[in-house]
Structure 1
Amino acid sequence: MEFKNTREFAQNLDANDPLAKYKEEFIFPKVNNKEVIYFTGNSLGLQPKLAKKYVDEVMTDWANLAVEGHFYADKPWWDYHERFSEKLAKVVGAKSHEIAVMNTLTVNLHLLMVSFYRPTKKRFKIICEEKAFPSDQYMIASQVKFHGLDPKKAIVEVKKREGENCFRTEDILAVIKEVGEECALVLIGGVNYYSGQVLDMKTITHAGHEAGAIVGWDLAHAAGNIELKLHEWDVDFAAWCSYKYMNSGPGNASGCYINEKYHGLNNIPRFEGWWGHNKERRFLMEPEFQPEPDANAWQISNAPILAMAPYLASLEMFDEVGMPALIEKRNRIVAYLEFILEDIDKGVEGTTFEIITPANQDERGTQLSVFLHGEGKELFNYLMKNGVITDWREPNVIRLAPAPFYCSYEDMYDFGQILKKGLRSH
């Protein structure tokens, strides 16, 4: 498709967009009494209008039923978490019994590492990416120290080449091969939070297994954003937050994937609690733990229903639309945003935007990370004051994530016009 940087062209794209109606299903903040252009769904998604209904249902059941809500609410609390499995399985490419919803992301990664990072004298190293999201860095280092190991010796970081913004798959594979029999675990972010690069998870997972290692993925920026086939790729485990592209609310519940080959094992190390106990016998209060036969065995505490309610509301929309349709719009709207940026760059003297996210559609999702050569945080502040909610990352990058559920093509055009004025004003 040949794009044009005109309002008429953008409006025509919206008129032919089957997902355009979903923009009305979200609540937008306002700046200067006007709804914002929202580019930070990669940090916190907008609130679906349906979320309040789902939360109110729980509040009403709590008021009217109190403890009996566990069994007699319209959506009983004792098995509330089970409503996620089938729908989330479609989002991440898993079998429904490989999915559990519990806790928050870093907590779940810690709990999964109890099972899947079992260092020995010979095989003890973890491969991750350099400058991973800080929480992952802290988590991995603390796990290594917990086992009495030195992070400097046990953690191997895959690095970008000098002068390059993205990782090369061949470099990741080379590190895995080099570490070889010393590698216990490969644990990397499936989508790099800074550059927006989508890694070749299938190839990397296979390489990790060839080296005899366990392979897990942090899918914080991947779930609800890109196509995932966790079961088909034979990923061992993965976890993701729900508050970015999945619009569940700040700091909300995390999803986990645990490959079915680890289900039902009596000898697998795992921190356990009563919500992972055989649900048919859970309320008998027996002293011996009997694990659920699936990923729910990794649950510890009873489900935080009020937190899960908005997640379930958002997931209903994902199930209605389906990932293929979201990805189709994502590809087009990101390409249009890329075109707008390049067109503005050509038209304003003395500016240079460098998009550090890969141009290849297979290597990117919803996010474009833009390095602002010759521009400082003043431009970011200008955008924010003029109703463009975006994200600043040092040293000089803005991250733009036009989520397909609630961003329009006309938003992309309007952003371009605001950006052009901002560049000319300073």
Structure 2
Amino acid sequence: MVYENNLAFAKAQDEKDPLKEYRNHFYIPVDKEGNELIYLCGNSLGCQPKSVAQYIEQELNDWADLGVEGHFKEETPWMSYHEELAKPMAHIVGAKPSEVVIMNTLTTNLHLMMVSFYNPTPSRHKIIIESDAFPSDKYAVESQIHQRGYDPETSLILWQPREGEELCRYEDLETLVKEHGDSVALLLIGNTNYYSGQCYPIKKITDLGHNNGSKVGFDLAHGVGNIMPDLHESGADFAVWCTYKYLNSGPGSLGGCFVHERHHTDKNIQRFTGWWGQNKDTRFNMRKGFDPIPTAEGWQLSNPPILSMAAVKASLDIFEEAGMSNIRAKSEKLTGYLEFLVNELNNEHIAIITPSDSSQRGCQLSIQVKNADKSLHKKLTEAGVISDWREPDVIRVAPAPLYNNFEDVYEMVERLKKIL
């Protein structure tokens, strides 16, 4: 696509955007005077769908009118509410509905997955993660290693960029796997990286790990609703994610989990268990032994929080209508335009550390401000642009294709230019 650095071009692109009406499905945050802000922070918290209140109110009314019988009402009964989310969620992550479940929160699900897929032995006990993994992932991995009686100093291996570089190279991961060989139990990669915006090749990493005899999992917190991970075909053992970033389900909302179908009927797999993972036919026979549901649902612990699930459902219904392939296509154009405009600034203090290849990133661009502190980001916020800052020197900007447009991107860079 050939871009132009002017407002008329941005407006023309918005006018012919097939997804343009979806912006009206969301509340855009406003300033004290009620003017819409330029909200480019969906990588941290997505905007609220306008339908959320209606979805939650429906469940509140059913609770008031039906009490416990709401579990068995005719339309979206609470007993099976989570099942309504499986199909649209599967379309987003590229999985079978039986391989996904919405439950718990992100780090809880990560722990549950490591219980099942990190099975260290004296000869195979190491976990490889990227060096700049999201802190919660690193804390979870370190605690799992400690809990199994090993030491992160020797069992945690970091895949890191080369000196003077910001991005991880796949060939360096290959070298790590070869170097540590049969001692690697698990590759756990955060895709897409929260800091750099770099998207790692899921299929290649999965094959690399499996060919080494290792299990492979992904944290898709910054990827779900953003990239198209194609989890089933990738062959990954598991993946986890949150739903409050690009999936717009509200602050601290539920997480999601993928478990490849080849693991569903493995009776010997280790797992932490709870009654909502029990065979549905015998779930309410309280004296039966645990018989896991032979799908990803078998990893559930407790019955789900319906009010939070209603918010998830409101957003997933929008994604289902818009179509993930259409969302991704717009995202590539929109982020490409942002990259073009930032490069047009031709400012020696500004650099984009996110890969320029659209197949190696989602919609986030990480803009590095050389020799700067957080003051530039503060001024950008005061100018009505909502992005976020990550130490030591990066402003993260993420135009979300469902509610952001070309004019947002153009205006953001114009305001940045004035501040500079």
Distance 1:210 1:87 in 2: 31
Q: Which residue of 1 aligns with 2:110?
A: 109
Please tell me whether residue 415 in structure 1 is matched to residue 412 in structure 2.
yes
* 1:404 to 2:405 alignment: no
Task: Return 132-141 or 372-381, whichever deviates more.
Answer: 372-381
Alignment match, 1:362: 359
Question: Could you tell me which residue of structure 2 aligns to residue 311 of structure 1?
Answer: 312
Match of 1:376 among 363, 373, 376: 373
Q: What is the TM-score normalised by the length of structure 2? A: 0.98
How does 1:40-59 map onto structure 2 within 5 Å? Answer: 40-59=41-60
Q: Distance in 1 between matches of 2:149 and 2:291?
A: 31
What aligned pairs does 1:193-232 form with structure 2 within 5 A after superposition? Answer: 193-232=194-233
Q: CA deviation at 1:283?
A: 1.7
Distance 1:410 1:259 in 2: 41
Contact 1:276 1:291 survives alignment (8 Å): yes
State which drifts further: 277-286 or 84-93: 277-286
Q: Distance in 2 between matches of 1:378 and 1:290?
A: 56
Contact residue 367 and residue 396 of structure 2 kept, 8 A: yes
Q: Give the secondary structure class of the aligned counterpart of 1:187.
A: strand
Task: Deviation per CA, 1:365-401: give whole Å up to 9, x if none.
Answer: 1100001124432221111112100100111110000
3-state SS of 1:119 partner = coil
> What residue in structure 2 maps to residue 7 of structure 1?
7
SS at match of 1:43: coil
The range that moved more, 93-102 or 371-380, is 371-380
- Does the CA contact (< 8 Å) of 2:282 and 2:288 recur in 1? no
Structure 1, residues 395-415: CA drift from partner, whole Å, max 9, x if none? 111000000001010111111
Q: Which amino acid aligns with 1:8?
A: A
Matched with 1:236 is 237
Identity over aligned residues, as a percent? 49
Query: How many residues are matched?
Result: 419
Alignment partners' CA distance in 1, 2:168 and 2:42: 23
Which deviations, in whole Å up to 9, do the C-alpha atoms of 1:177-229 show, x marking residues without a partner?
11110011010101110000000111111010011000000110111100111
TM-score by length of 1: 0.97
Residue 345 of structure 1 deviates from its aligned partner by 3.0
Whole-angstrom distance in 2 between the partners of 1:234 and 1:415:
39
Residue in 2 aligned with 1:157?
158
8 A Cα contact 1:94 1:230, kept in partner: yes
For structure 1, the 5+ residue unaligned runs are none
Separation in structure 1 between the aligned mates of residue 267 and residue 340 of structure 2, nearest angstrom: 55
Alignment of 1:27-426 (within 5 A): 27-33=27-33, 34-72=35-73, 74-345=75-346, 351-423=348-420
AA of the residue aligned to 2:28: F
- Given that residues 45 and 246 in structure 1 are in contact (C-alpha distance below 8 angstroms), is that contact kept between their aligned partners in structure 2? yes
Q: Secondary structure at the match of 1:264?
A: coil
Following the alignment from structure 1 to structure 2, what is the Cα–Cα distance between the partners of residues 377 and 345?
21
Equivalent-residue separation in structure 1 for 2:330 and 2:64 (angstroms) = 42
**What 5-or-longer segments of structure 2 have no aligned partner?**
none
How many angstroms apart in 1 are the aligned matches of 2:372 and 2:417?
13
Name the SS for the 1:257 alignment partner: strand
Q: Deviations over 1:127-183 (max 9, x none)?
A: 111021000010000000001111101111111101111000111111111111001
Taking the aligned partners of 2:237 and 2:314, their CA distance within structure 1 comes to 28
Q: Is the partner of 1:48 in helix, strand or coil?
A: coil
Instruction: Pick which of 30-39 and 305-314 moved more.
Output: 30-39
CA distance in 1, matches of 2:107, 2:337: 34
Shift of residue 267, structure 1, vs aligned partner: 1.4
CA offsets 1:51-109 (integer angstroms, 9 cap, x no match)? 11111111011010011101116210001010111111111111111111110000000
Greater mean deviation of Cα atoms: 192-201 or 377-386? 377-386
Answer yes or no: is the 8 Å Cα contact 1:393–1:399 preserved in 2. yes
- Structure 2 distance, partners of 1:262, 1:279, is 19
Contact 2:132/2:195, CA 8 A, preserved across alignment: no
Q: Offset of 1:287 from its aligned partner?
A: 2.9
Question: 2: distance between equivalents of 1:353 and 1:103?
Answer: 39
Between 24-33 and 9-18, report the one with greater CA deviation: 24-33
Question: Pairwise CA RMSD of aligned residues?
Answer: 1.1
Q: Per the alignment, in what secondary structure is the counterpart of residue 30 of structure 1?
A: coil
